[in-house]
Each structure stands twice: as C-alpha cells, then as structure tokens.
C-alpha cells in the first residue's frame, strides 16, 4: 500500500515538540515533514532554523497545504480553540494535551463526527505506551473489566527515589524537576490531576462512558510522610500512585489514589519515570503494558506513531459509544484504605463502614477500614496536610 506525503503544522516547541522534531528526523520510513511551527515567544533562542517559526496561528490553520495539525501547547483554552478550528477546516489533528482533551471530550468527539476528520491523541494518556490504540482495536467489545495503572512518570520517579534511595519527598521532587520529568509547578502531578485527566480519556476508550474530570476523585502523594513509608515497608510493600477505572455491577467507577502495592503485583516493579498499565478482561485475565511515561522523546514517539497512522487514514471509531450500552459512572463503591492523622478531631471515623485496625501513639494515629468512594471525595478532612490516605489491595 502506498502512503501519501504529509505536511505538518506544529503548535508548541517545548519538551515534546523538540522530542517530536528529533524522532521525526531520525525516522526514515515516514513521509512527513514539518512546514511551520507556531510559538508564543519569537525571541527565545531555538535549536533549529528560525525560518520554521511563526507567531501567527492562522498561518498554519488557514494554509491549505498543511494536512495535519500537531497541537503540543500547555494552555488548555488555546489548545481547544486551535484543535476545534483545525478540525472545522478539515485538517487531521494530533494532540498530546491530556487536560484539554479530558475537559472537552464530548465536544471533541462531536467535532470529529461532524467534520469527518480524525483526531488522534495517543500521547495524551501514557506517553510511549500504545494504550488507546489497544483499547480501540483489540478490546473493541464489552469484555473489558478494568484498566488500572501508573500513568504519571513524574510521581513514579519521585516514589522510586523515596523507596530505593531513602530520599525525602522534597529531594526526590527536585531531582525529578532537574531531569525534566516534573514541571516547575508540580502540583498537577503530585496532587494526582495529571493521571486523572488520563483516566478520563481511557475511561471513554475502555467503556464508552463520558465523564467530567471533576466527577473523578483524585488524591496525590503530596501528604506522604516517613510514617506512611515505614507502614508500607513493614508490610513488604511500596507506594504507587494508581489510576483506576473498573466496571462493576453494570456501572463504572474511576479514581486516582496512592496505593499500597505488594511484591506479587505487576505494578510493584514499575520504576522511575516508567508507566505500567494492567488490563483485566473476561477471558484473558490480565495483560500488562510497560513503557516510558515522561520525557520529550517518549511522548514525541507516541505523537509520531499517530502521524504515521494518519498516513494510512486511521481514525478512532469509538465502537463502544456506538454499541450504546455504555455503563453509567458512579462513585458508589467501597474501598479498603489506610488513613493516617495526628489528632482525633482531624478525621471523621463515623464515615467508615468498618474499621479493622487502629493505632495510636503520641505522634501519629491511623486506621485501616472500608469507606465509600463518594464519602472520600466529599471529605473536607482529607484536605488537611496532616492527613494521608492509601488504598490497600483487595
């Protein structure tokens, strides 16, 4: 089959944009070339020829010779506006902006239907792991039960340093920032927002269910302290920030929470900036994907894979939406959790269904018990920096 040549118009030339430029230059088999790159700051020194750059978005969006728009910027509203206009102009679009996609999924789905153009965003979910393509192609039926995994390379790197090198949280974060795995403002990563956006996207491709990010509960690793780390070590476990979406009793639930992970779990051995995703389905039991989850060339390679797929007219078919038996979203599920706090007034223990373990010392207290996910999502006491939460394995 003969492939066509395509011209690319790129928005953004940061970490991922440069990563894409690098992988594109080193890949011989793809007939794609960069025609223009739109940037915000024309005075910033760039590693490639300045003739590539423009500050005028329309120079790309209105150019009939540009076939594919690649959107790699950090501003959610601007990114949505670029993608919408490109799709309305009949251009195929590739994006890596998980927040923009997660917050606008129904509209983006509709734009693809109305304008009959593909919009691909593999890079938005787990960097180098081809998870969306697998959910679309391989799991295109309703036999999938769960998708769960480590889908944030920055926090996984931080947790690895804490457990492997006995670093403090702040030292590990600083190291992650130095290596370019964590942003200068790391709150989206360490508070679990970034993996939540990814889970919202995966939920659609796994189960056909649209959910708004604010409906999904996320709690990160920024409350973690030495006592929690000790608790994990005493139980021959480690701590991983895990995003989860699962079909149960006809509905689906999803959340992003730090988990206590034991050695037999496949996610236990996912270290540093790597991501790991476990898929559970009715007949295949578990399948496990692992790959780099942070860094310019890891994400750039996923963007390149989407560009390559467009050469063969690939598009997401969203088969599970068309099967029209999407499970409804719910937070009405029970979780077994460890909650650590300092003084009795900091946690409302009456919200637990049951408590199986309780510990008190002058310094710290903790309980292990079962609680409803919606109660956790609503709990004001979890906002207290002296309170931490870990999910225990079933």
* pLDDT per residue as tens digits for the range 264-320: 999 999 999 999 999 998 877 889 999 988 777 778 888 999 999 998 899 999 988
User: Where exactly are the structural domains of the chain?
Assistant: 6-129+296-316, 136-292+327-392
Residue percentage of the chain with pLDDT more than 90: 75
Q: Please give the angle made by the CA atoms of 192, 195 and 201, to the nearest 5 degrees.
A: 140
For residue 322, pLDDT over 90 is answered with: no
Q: At a CB cut-off of 8 Å and minimum separation 6, what does 302 contact?
A: 96, 122, 123, 127, 128, 130
For residue 1, pLDDT over 50 is answered with: no
Q: At a CB cut-off of 8 Å and minimum separation 6, what does 383 contact?
A: none
What span, in angstroms and rounded, lies between the C-alpha atoms of 259 and 252?
19
What span, in angstroms and rounded, lies between the C-alpha atoms of 54 and 104?
27
- Is there a contact between 292 and 275 (Cβ–Cβ < 8 Å)? yes
CB atoms within 10 A of CB 6: 18
What span, in angstroms and rounded, lies between the C-alpha atoms of 373 and 379?
10
Q: Which CATH architecture is the domain 136-292+327-392 placed in?
A: 2-Layer Sandwich (3.30)
For residue 2, pLDDT over 70 is answered with: no
Phi and psi for 382 in degrees, rounded to 5?
A: -75, -15
pTM of the model: 0.94
Residue-wise pLDDT tens digits, 168-225: 999 999 999 888 887 778 899 999 999 999 999 999 999 999 999 999 999 999 999 9
- Is there a contact between 368 and 355 (Cβ–Cβ < 8 Å)? yes
Q: What is the pLDDT of residue 292?
A: 85
Q: Could you give the residue numbers annotated as active site? A: 198
Which CATH number is associated with domain 6-129+296-316? 3.40.50.720
Torsion sign over Cα 168, 170, 172, 174: negative
Q: How far apart are the first and last CA of the chain?
A: 49
């Amino acid at each position: 089959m003969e492939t066509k040549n395509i011209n690319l118009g790129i928005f953004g030339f940061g970490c991922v944009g440069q990563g894409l430029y690098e992988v594109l230059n080193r890949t011989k088999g793809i007939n794609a070339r960069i025609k223009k790159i739109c940037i915000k700051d024309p005075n910033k020194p760039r590693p490639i020829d300045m003739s590539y750059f423009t500050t005028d978005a329309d120079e790309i969006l209105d150019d009939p010779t540009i076939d594919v728009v690649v959107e790699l910027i950090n501003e959610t509203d601007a990114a949505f506006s670029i993608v919408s206009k490109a799709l309305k102009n009949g251009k195929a679009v590739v994006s890596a902006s998980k927040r923009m996609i997660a917050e606008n999924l129904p509209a983006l789905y509709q734009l693809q239907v109305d304008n009959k153009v593909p919009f691909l965003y593999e890079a938005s979910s787990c960097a180098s792991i081809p998870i969306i393509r697998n959910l679309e192609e391989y799991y295109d039926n309703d036999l999938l039960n769960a998708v769960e995994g480590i889908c944030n390379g920055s926090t996984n790197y931080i947790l690895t340093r804490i457990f492997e090198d006995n670093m403090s949280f702040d030292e590990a974060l600083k190291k992650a920032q130095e290596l370019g795995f964590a942003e200068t403002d790391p709150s989206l990563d360490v508070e679990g927002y970034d993996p939540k956006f990814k889970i919202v996207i995966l939920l659609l491709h796994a189960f056909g269910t649209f959910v708004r990010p604010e409906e999904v509960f996320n709690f990160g690793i920024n409350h973690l302290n030495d006592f929690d780390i000790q608790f994990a070590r005493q139980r021959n476990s480690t701590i991983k920030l895990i995003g989860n979406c699962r079909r149960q009793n006809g509905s689906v639930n999803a959340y992003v929470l730090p988990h206590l992970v034991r050695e037999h779990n496949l996610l236990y051995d996912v270290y540093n900036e790597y991501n790991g995703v476990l898929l559970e389905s009715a007949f295949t039991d578990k399948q496990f994907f692992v790959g780099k989850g942070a860094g310019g060339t890891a994400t750039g390679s996923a963007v390149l894979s989407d560009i390559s797929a467009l050469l063969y007219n690939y598009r997401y078919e969203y088969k599970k939406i068309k099967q029209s038996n999407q499970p409804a979203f719910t937070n009405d599920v029970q979780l077994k959790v460890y909650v650590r706090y300092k003084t009795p007034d900091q946690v409302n223990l009456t919200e637990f269904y049951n408590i199986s373990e309780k510990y008190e010392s002058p310094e710290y207290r903790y309980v292990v018990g079962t609680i409803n996910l919606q109660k956790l999502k609503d709990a004001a006491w979890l906002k207290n920096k002296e309170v931490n939460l870990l999910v225990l394995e079933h």
